[in-house]
Amino acid sequence: MGLLSLLNESRAQIWESWGWLPFALLLATPVTIYVAYYVVYNLYFHPLSKFPGPWYAVISDLFSSHTIISGHGHQTLKALHEKYGEVVRVGPDELSFSSGSAWKDVYAQRKNGTIFTKDHKFYITDNDFRAPHIVNNINVEEHAQAKKVLSHAFSPKSLLEQEDIVLKYADMLMVAIREESAKGPLNLNDCYNWVTFDVLGELAFGEPFGSVSARQTDEWISTILQMVVFIAWDSALYKLHPIFSDFYSYFIPPSIRKATANHVFQSKAKILSRLEKGERRDGRKDFCSYIFELRKEMGLNEWHMAAYSNSMIIAGSETTATVMSALTYYLCRTPAVYDKLKQEVRSRYMSSDEITSLSATFPYLTAVIHEILRIFPPIPFGMPRIVPPGGDTVDGIFIPGGTTVSVHTWSSAHSAENFKDPDSFIPERWLDPENTDNRDASNPFLLGPRACIGQNMAWMEMRILIAKMVFLFDYELVDEKLDWERDSPAFILWQKPELWTKVTPRDVQ
C-alpha cells in the first residue's frame, strides 16, 4: 500500500505540474499551424514569391516596419538592391524598385489616366490627430481639389512676392553669420533652420518665428523633427497592424510623444490665431489664406487646417535646411568643387545685393544643386503606392493588384546601374552632354500628380542662399572626423549631426 500511495501521490504532483500542458498544446497548435502556413505561403505560394528578396523580409511586415524606425533603413535597402537587383521583395505584399525607368511607372499618371494611390498603411489619416493634408491625403479627388487651390501659392506671381521675403531673411542671416562668426565656430545647421523657418513662417502665417533676429531656434521648430520621428513610429506600428498604432503609448518613447503633442497643439493655436486676424491688410495672400479657402470648399476643421499649414512648413523649411547643411559639408569635403563654385559665383557679382534667384542661374551652381539633391536627397525613402486592382506593369514587369510598390530614393540615386561613382559628389555629371548617367533616377521632389508643389520655391531659396553664402564667406569644417552619411540617421527626414564650421567673412558686402 505504501508503494501504491507513493505512486498515486507522484501522479497527482505530476498532474499539478504538467496537467495544463495538453490544454496549452491544444491552444497553441492552431496558432503554430497558422504561423507555419503563413510563412510557407509567403515564401513559396504568394503571387510575389517569384521576386527576389531575403526570407526574413517576406514572411511578415516586421522587416519593412523596422526599416522605417531603425535610422539606417535607407542603407539597408540599398544593400538589398545591390545584392538582389533593381526590384526586391521587402515585405509579404511589397516591392522596392531602384531603376530610373520605374519612377514614371510608379508615380506618374498612366496612359489610361489612372495613378497608383498612396498606401494607407503608411499615410495614416483616420482621425483628427492624423488629419489628412496636401502630403498624406490618399483620396485622389480630395488631393486634386486641395492642390488646385494651394497651387496658387506657388504661381509665378506668388514666387515673385515670395522672393522679396526670401531675400530679406537671407540678408538678415548673412549679417547674423558675419557677427556670430567673430565669436567662434558656428553650427550652421542652426543658421539654416533659422532662415528657412522664418521664411516659411511669414509665407504661411504672415509673420516669422523670429529665429534669425533672436539667433536661436523657436521651441515650435525644435519639436518638428521629433514629430517626424513620431510619424515614422506610427507608420511602422500601423503597418504591422492598426491595433498597435492605437496603443502607440506603449511603444513610442515618452519624450517623442510629448514633443509631438506639444507641436500639434501649438500648430492648432497658430492656425486659430491667424484665422482670427482675417485677411491681411496689405492684400497679400499667405498660405493660410488659401487654407481658409479650402476650409470653405472642403469643410476643413481646425485640426485639418493645422495639418495643412504644418505639412507645408515642414516640407518647405526642414528639407531646404537639410540640403543647405549637406551641401556645406560636401563642399568642404570636395575642395575642387568648392573652388569651382566660388570662382563662378564671385566672378559674377560685385555685391551680394546683386544676387537674386534670376541672376543666380549659373550652370555650375545649378549642377551643384542637382548633385546635392541626388547624393543626399531630403527624403531618402521610397514613397509607397498601391497597384490598382487587376494589376499593372512597373519597369516592364507585371505586378499583381494590391501590391505596395515604391522606388527607393536613396538606392536609385546611389546605384552604380544609374550613376558612375554614385557615392562621389560630382556636379559635372549634370553638365556633360556625353555623360551616360541615368539622370531620370534622381527625383528628389518626386514626379507626377503628387510631386512637391513647392519645388520651384525651394529652387529659388537654394539659389539665393547658396550664392550669398559662397559670395560672402569661406568655410572650414571643425570636426575632420565628421562623416555626413554615416552620422545622419533617417526617420523619414534626416536627423542631422551638428555642423560646426569655421566661417571666415570675405572683405565684400
Each residue of 7-20: b (16+ CB within 10 Å) or e? eeeeeeeeeeeeee
Q: What is the C-alpha separation between 119 and 138, in angstroms, rounded?
A: 7
Residue located via cell numbers 512648413: 313
- CA 341 to the chain's CA centroid: 28
Strand partners, 494: 490
- How far are the Cα atoms of 130, 401, 498 from residue 120, in angstroms, in the given order? 12, 15, 34
Q: Contact 169/212 with Cβ under 8 angstroms? A: yes
Q: What's the number of CA atoms in the CB half-sphere (13 Å) around residue 70?
A: 13
Task: List helix spans (H) across 59-187.
Answer: 62-69, 73-84, 102-107, 140-150, 156-181
* Ramachandran area for residue 283 (φ above 0: left; ψ -120 to 50: alpha; else beta): left
Q: Pairing state of beta strands 94-97 and 404-407?
A: parallel
Count Cβ neighbours within 10 Å for each residue of 406-420 and write b for 16 or more, e otherwise.
Answer: bbbbbbbbbbebbbe
Q: Which residues participate in the annotated binding site?
A: 452
Inter-CA distances, 463 with 319, 424, 502, Å: 14, 22, 22
Instruction: Say how many C-beta atoms besides its own lie within 10 A of residue 295's C-beta.
Output: 18
Task: Give the max Cα distance, the chain.
Answer: 113
CA-based angle 393:397:400, to the nearest 5?
Answer: 60
* Strand arrangement, sheet containing 117-118: 87-91, 94-97, 404-407, 385-386, 117-118
- Residue labelled with grid coordinates 563662378: 344
Write out the binding residues for heme: 452
CA dihedral 214, 215, 216, 218 (to 10 degrees): 50
Q: Which residues contact 284 (CB under 8 A, 6 or more apart)?
A: 161
Q: Please, how many CA atoms are within 13 Å of residue 458, restricted to the half-sphere of its CB? A: 24
d(CA 504, CA 507): 10
